[in-house]
Amino acid sequence: MSKLEKMFESPIFAKLQEWGGKVQSNKVIASISNGMMAIMSLVLAGAAFMIIATLLNVAGVIETTDQVYQWLCVPYNMTMGLISLPIAFAVGYSYSNALGMKGAMANGLVTMILFLMVAAPSQSVTLGESTATMIPTQFLGGPGIFVAMFLPIISVRIIKFCKDKNATIKMPDSIPPYLVDSFANIVPLVINLVLWEGLSILCQVLMNGATLPALIMGIISIPLSGLTSTPGMFVLLAISMLAWTLGLHGQGIVSVVTLPAMMAAFGTNAELVAAGQPTVFAPIFTFMLATSAGGAGNMLSLAVCCLRSKSERLRAVGKAGLVPAIFNISEPMIFGTPVMYNPLIAIPMILNSLICMGFVFLGFSVGFFQNPYILMLTPLPVGLATFLASMAWQNVLIPVVCFVIAFVVYTPFVKMYDKQCLADEEAANEQAAA
């Protein structure tokens, strides 16, 4: 037995695997995971168009200001930019099935509309001499995922409670099933509407127009405002990765600190380069570059680990997420694995990111890595982004070493998760054959 196999059989790893199995078997967690995996095709389709737009831009064929580039970005904006909407539907649908409820499709539609109501309440905007009603989309994308996961759980529970207590409108047997489901949901729908609209209004009144997702993001970000030092960046990275594992948009949570620091650091270095002076180090650089091997959590390494798995599902996720990860688009792997509420993937995601940050900080400390001064806001292939930001060949090595570190960290955990997925697949096959 190899040392690696002995490590897998150790009591600590056995307990971790048992804990991971219990978490994943929980109906709420399983429904969230199934909901995340259900929207994989949307994530991949949007990422494909963004990759095409990026390649054409890097090749000099089109500029980001060109109409063609804007057209190519539309599918990405309408999938990833609104991803919380299908998540709200998918989680509501999946949880309804997990509870053995009829009308899962109707419940999914209800939870999607309820989420839309609290995350993007319509607003009247004056345009010239006319007034238009618009829906803000800020929290319909990644920043709204947390609410999109848990609002359906609560709403479906309310619907089930009403049905269990017969607090529904019953229709004759001759009525088509889809109409029966619609009428059965009227009473619980009204209760949900009053509850969520009440919370939404309360947030807007007390928080100067803030929506429920904005309130949650704001509350979490308040304690982070002073973390601009190098130790603070380690804390911010840990919080950002932990947020992803809880269904929160990690970058959105810490952006109140990282975005101003990033803009200031790049602005300062750009001015220094223009003046012919040496650039200066800023702690924000360690935060940005610690996850340069595939986006949040260095998902390129996880994709490769999944490709080496025996589980058909993990191999499929690895194949689907590999190319986006090469372009530092992490969402396909985050949603497909999934990372959320999955300790066997969440732990190495956080751990490898922090180790990579330590490596990046060490490289800057000894003067090997060069300070970036060109802000790259478009998703670029691994290695190219770090090079173009600094125009230094040394920085190409950052994602390479981060990939190796992340691969080593992910490997034992993915092997355990692979066993768990294999067992689930075998059980599903046996049930299908019975």
296 closest CA partner among 256, 354, 344: 354
318-329: average pLDDT? 85
Position 74 scores a pLDDT of 84
Are 125 and 84 spatial neighbours (Cβ–Cβ below 8 Å)? no
For residue 5, pLDDT beyond 60: no
Say what the pLDDT of residue 269 is.
76
Q: Is the pLDDT of residue 38 over 60?
A: yes
pLDDT over 50 (residue 347): yes
More confident residue, 259 or 69: 69
- Region 45-73: mean pLDDT is 77
Q: Is the pLDDT of residue 87 over 50?
A: yes
- Check residue 434 and give its pLDDT: 65
The pLDDT assigned to 18 comes to 60
Report the chain's mean pLDDT, rounded to a whole number.
79
Mean pLDDT over 242-267 rounds to 72
Give the pLDDT confidence of 204-221 residue by residue, as tens digits: 888 777 788 888 777 766
In this prediction, residue 354 has a pLDDT band, given cuts at 50, 70 and 90, of very high
Does position 407 have pLDDT exceeding 90, yes or no? yes
pLDDT in tens, 93-146: 988 888 888 878 888 888 999 999 888 887 777 777 777 778 888 788 767 777
Please tell me the predicted confidence (pLDDT) of residue 394.
85
Whether 88 shows a pLDDT value over 70: the answer reads yes
- Looking at residues 172-194, what average pLDDT do you find? 75
For residue 24, pLDDT beyond 60: no
What's the pLDDT score for residue 63?
A: 81
pLDDT at site 1: 42
Which stretches of 293-396 are DSSP H helices?
A: 299-307, 312-326, 331-336, 343-365, 384-390
Of the spans 29-43, 51-65, 217-231, 285-299, which averages the highest pLDDT? Answer: 285-299
